[in-house]
Amino acid sequence: MTQWIIAIIMAWGAVALGDVAQAETRELPVEEIASGVFVHIGQTALMTAENEGAIANVGFVIGSDAVAVIDTGGSVREGRALLAAIRARSSKPIRYVINTHAHPDHIFGNAAFQVDDARFVGAKNLSRAIAVRGPHYIEAFRRLMGAELIDEVRLVSPSLVVEDHLSLDLGGRTLTLKAWSTAHSDCDLTVTDDQSGTLFAGDLVFLRHIPVMDGSLRGWIADIAALATITAARVVPGHGPVSPWPLALTDERRYLDTLAHDVRGLIKAGKPIAEAAGAAGSERGKWELFDDYNARNATAAFSEMEWE
């Protein structure tokens, strides 16, 4: 009898502790930008311990049967907060976890979704990018954000790979996924919710936050022309506010064109790559984090365009 009571008390205690742990996982603030479409707008900043890596836009779409998550954030802690925000709004199963590319601010929350039967979805080169860059990212961000946030990060390869196009049925609404040739990165993927006319562009689209080029400048400029033909009412960029589509491309197109023009000029004049950092100087003041990324974009662009 005593044993029974102890067992009951222990079981009750475990449940109570579980509740406390649940309650302590805060919800990531999200906004419903269209019916069933939720977005958290990331801080325009570099990933730090203080912001828990929550610098990219992440979101989810709720269908009548299932939920799809689009990017998971810059730490498992952010991923858990996103999961809590989903669970506060829907008890439907999370069927798909879509990564728009391999950068840490978009995939470091993946481990929070390695539950149930969620399938991880990415463009055809995502696995390779995660394999090649993932260990470096974990090492570098452990240094920048601390072991507590980073040690629980898991590199999760997609089990569902988008070669070109793929449709995902959430029940009553369909997501259309498209894999792009190398542009912002070598594994960019966009997601369109056809019902609401919402385009999740990942880092193919930046607003306010200076575009970051980690793929091919020429490829990106070419892809923008194709991106602009996507039918949508609004875009959720990888960074920056939700904006009307395709008007949202204006600033990014101007920046990338300016960068390409200036870098080509430097190469033609025989300047060394060390001077590339001065390219696109006319764009300073038009973007946040300009000094954090412009020199890098220009250096990468220089080494690409030298082969033209």
Partner 1 sequence: MIGLRLPSLSFLSAGLLGASLAFCFAPAKAAEGYDPWPGLVQDVFNNKPMQDGANVLSIEMPARAEDASVVPVTLRSKLSPADERRIKTITLVIDQNPAPMAAKFTLGADANVTAISTRVRVNNYTDVHAVAELTDGQLYVIKTFVKASGGCSAPAAKNPDEAKARIGQMRYRQFTQAGDGATSGIREAQVMVGHPNNSGLQMDQLTQLYIPAFFVDQLTLSQDGSLVLSVEGGISISEDPNIRFTYVSNGAKHFRAEARDTQGHVFEHEWPAEGSGT
Q: Which residues form the interface with partner 1 (CB under 8 A)? A: 46-47, 103-105, 125, 127-128, 131-133, 135-137, 139-140, 142-144, 157, 182, 185-186, 212, 214-216, 219, 270, 272-274, 277, 292-293, 295-296, 299-300, 303-304, 306-307
| List of residues 6+ apart from 173 with CB closer than 8 A | 36, 61, 63, 64, 193, 194, 195, 196
Token pair recorded at residue 206: 């930046």
CB of 191 to partner 1, least distance (A): 20
Helix, strand, or coil (residue 137): helix
Question: Which among 184, 194, 197 has a CA at the least distance from the CA of 255?
Answer: 184
148-162 burial by CB neighbour count: b if 16+ within 10 A, else e? ebbeebebbbbeebb
- 128, two tokens: 């390779």
Residue whose CB is less far from partner 1, 173 or 239: 239
Residue 108 in tokens: 């470091």
- Closest separation in Å from C-beta 136 to partner 1: 5
Up-side HSE of residue 104: CA atoms within 13 Å toward CB?
Answer: 23
Of 63 and 238, which CB lies nearer to partner 1 in the complex structure? 238
Least Å distance, CB 274 to partner 1, is: 4
- Answer whether 105's CB lies under 8 Å from 164's CB: no
Select 5 or 147, whichever has its Cβ closest to partner 1.
147
Compute the least distance from the CB of residue 165 to partner 1, in Å. Answer: 20
- CA–CA separation, 58 and 102 (whole Å): 14
The distance of closest approach from Cβ of residue 66 to partner 1 in the complex, given in angstroms and rounded to an integer, is: 27
Comparison of 185 and 192: residue with beta carbon closer to partner 1? 185
Q: Toward partner 1, which CB reaches closer, 36 or 215?
A: 215
235-to-30, 79, 192, 241 alpha-carbon distances in Å: 16, 22, 9, 9
User: CB of 143: closest distance to partner 1 in angstroms?
Assistant: 5
Which tokens is 13 given?
């205690």
**Least Å from the CB of residue 188 to partner 1:** 12
* Residue 67 or 179 having the CB closest to partner 1: 179
Comparing CB distances to partner 1, the nearer of 136 and 284 is 136
Contact 205, 251 (CB under 8 A): no
